[in-house]
Structure 1
Amino acid sequence: MEQFLDNLRKNQADLPVYLITPLWVPPSWQPARANIPLDAYRQALRDIIQSRRDAKLHLIEGPELIDHDPRYFDRVAVHPNDAGFEMMAQRLHARIQLNSK
């Protein structure tokens, strides 16, 4: 992620960037090879945002974008369904609007 952001900033120094931490997933999601908990990925993104001190780099907490209810996810529990994506889009729009003022 650090390298990605470095490369992005070389070409787009003033572009607002929004990083989204992993979404909430239902407890039923139990992948066989999950070696690192999602909270660790979320924290890694928080740490990157904090360390970069880039006013145009924003963090959006994924678990806040869709209600914690399995009915907003498809059979593969990490993927939102249409209703989940609609909720996510509305909340993303609101967050981006808030940060762009």
Structure 2
Amino acid sequence: MISTLATNIWWEPFVAYRYGMRTKQKGYYKELIKSFISFFIAIVILHFSVKYINGFVGISLIMILLISALVATFVLLVVYFLFYSRNEEFKYATKLLCSIGRNLLKK
């Protein structure tokens, strides 16, 4: 398992960038670190949020599950927006989703 992770994180990008695209892999590693940081921040926020929600006595388990799911969705969207809102891919996806939404509302 460790060798697979090491290969996927280090060696394959190195070979792809060096010999395939003939560029440095610096941008890839920046994005990888950014992804790890955003993932870690989201997990920490979700951990404390769900722990806080589970502390309420008298709420049914179904309600706790629904509230936790809504909080998780909201937190992940906010973290994703904060980290990736300036990327070209994010802007493209936003335009695409807006156009799909407009087309669905017209029908």
* Larger fraction in helix: 2
* Larger fraction in strand: 1
TM-score clears 0.5: no
User: Normalising TM by the smaller chain, what interval?
Assistant: 0.3 to 0.5
Q: TM-score, normalised by structure 1?
A: 0.38
Q: Which has the higher contact order (CA 8 A, sep 6+)?
A: 1
